[in-house]
């Protein structure tokens, strides 16, 4: 973590969707966490756990059902004028999961990247505009000749680089990377992650990195939050989470990570998780509790005592 200044504060965030009475999907169900300036917070969990919905709600693509998202102390979902919204949209950007669907097929790469530059008036002339586009292409590992091409002329990895260049065009402070590598070949994934790490150092960026690949999340993240059915069940520094996973669901996820070791794979035991194993009583207060500095677990008071013993002797 580069600094200890809170850039983002998520407080009891809820995002519910009505899918026909009386059904209600609690995609995000009262989660709380902070993101510090200069860090990468990884958010992991299985498909449908609410991690992408969390990111989209944080950036106002969805209106929050309840709770708050604060950016530098200001409520993201508060009432804003057009000017304030424009400034907010410039400071928070998103890299989307699907590099094929997130780029307009009818626009040239130069137009895609320059769209934000034009909206925010970041270039004083056509020449300056194109110089910014060329510089951004080179920043993400492409070249100026690519500016005149259309998205269909690129590979998946190249399209994701164009998406990253588009996000960087407005000089943001905070970027939500919503599973930016899941649609890419394994050989390309490491290139994109290394690019994001390089950009973070060069431009002092802060990331929320959403993914389901735990091995890749460990590589890029300072801290990791684990989500299960709309709840944040564990939050810890990356090394601590992998060394001392406490919540049974986290253990289940980690047990599923394959290693390039035939002997290990033959003896690997997959840990299964069932939410019914917790046996909460009606009067149990199930909340996030700090088991070690910076290491939080969603649990009851009784479970907390057990987790503390387990953590102590690990």
Q: Which H or E run includes 12?
A: strand 6-18
48: left (phi over 0), alpha (psi -120 to 50) or beta: left
Q: At residue 132, does pLDDT exceed 80?
A: yes
Mean pLDDT for all residues in the chain: 91
CA-CA distance, 142 to 158, in Å (whole number)? 8
What would the pLDDT profile of 191-229 be if each residue is shown by its tens digit? 888 999 999 999 999 999 999 878 889 889 999 999 999
DSSP string, 63-90: --SEEEEEETTEETTS---HHHHHHHHH
Across 180-193, average pLDDT: 84
Q: Are 103 and 123 in contact (CB under 8 A)?
A: no
pTM recorded for the entire structure: 0.91
What would the pLDDT profile of 242-283 be if each residue is shown by its tens digit? 999 999 999 999 988 888 888 888 888 889 999 888 988 888
Task: Tell me what pLDDT residue 1 has.
Answer: 45
Task: Tell me what pLDDT residue 21 has.
Answer: 66
Return the minimum-mean-pLDDT range out of 14-28, 43-57, 124-138: 14-28
CATH 3.30.420.10 corresponds to the domain 39-62+79-229: no
Sheet of strand 295-299: strand arrangement: 92-95, 174-178, 206-211, 40-44, 223-228, 231-237, 295-299, 287-292
Whose CA is closest to 37, among 207, 261, 199? 207
Q: Are 300 and 306 in contact (CB under 8 A)?
A: no
Task: Tell me what pLDDT residue 2 has.
Answer: 43
> Where are the domain boundaries for CATH 3.40.50.300 in the chain?
39-62+79-229
What would the pLDDT profile of 88-97 be if each residue is shown by its tens digit? 989 999 999 8
- Percent of the chain exceeding pLDDT 70 equals 98
Reading the block at residue 266, the tokens are 């033959």
Per the listing, tokens 């110089």 go with 131
What would the pLDDT profile of 232-246 be if each residue is shown by its tens digit? 999 999 999 999 999
Across 51-68, average pLDDT: 95
Within 13 Å of residue 94, how many CA atoms lie on the same side as its CB? 21
CA-CA distance, 304 to 306, in Å (whole number)? 5
């Amino acid at each position: 973590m580069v600094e200890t200044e809170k850039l983002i504060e998520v407080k009891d965030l809820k995002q519910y969707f009505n899918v026909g009475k009386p059904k209600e999907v609690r995609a995000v169900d009262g989660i709380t966490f902070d993101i510090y300036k200069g860090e990468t917070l990884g958010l992991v969990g299985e498909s449908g756990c609410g991690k992408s919905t969390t990111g989209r709600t944080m950036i106002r693509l969805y209106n929050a059902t309840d709770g708050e998202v604060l950016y530098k102390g200001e409520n993201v979902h508060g009432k804003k004028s057009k000017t304030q919204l424009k400034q907010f949209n410039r400071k928070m950007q998103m890299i989307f999961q699907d590099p094929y669907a997130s780029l307009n097929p009818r626009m040239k790469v130069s137009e895609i990247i320059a769209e934000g530059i034009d909206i925010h008036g970041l270039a004083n002339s056509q020449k300056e505009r194109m110089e910014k586009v060329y510089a951004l292409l080179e920043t993400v590992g492409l070249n100026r000749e690519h500016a005149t091409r259309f998205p269909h002329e690129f590979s998946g990895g190249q399209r994701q680089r164009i998406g990253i260049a588009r996000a960087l065009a407005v000089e943001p402070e905070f970027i939500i990377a919503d599973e930016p590598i899941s649609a890419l070949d394994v050989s390309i994934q490491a290139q994109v992650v290394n690019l994001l790490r390089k950009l973070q150092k060069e431009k002092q960026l802060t990331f929320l990195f959403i993914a389901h690949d735990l091995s890749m999340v460990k590589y890029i993240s300072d801290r990791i939050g684990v989500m299960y059915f709309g709840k944040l069940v564990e939050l810890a520094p990356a090394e601590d989470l992998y060394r001392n996973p406490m919540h049974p669901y986290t253990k289940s996820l980690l047990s599923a990570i394959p290693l390039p070791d035939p002997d290990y794979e033959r003896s690997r035991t997959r840990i299964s998780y069932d939410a019914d194993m917790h046996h909460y009583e009606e009067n149990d207060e199930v909340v996030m509790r700090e088991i070690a500095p910076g290491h939080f677990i969603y649990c009851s008071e009784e479970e907390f005592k057990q987790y503390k013993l387990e953590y102590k002797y690990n």
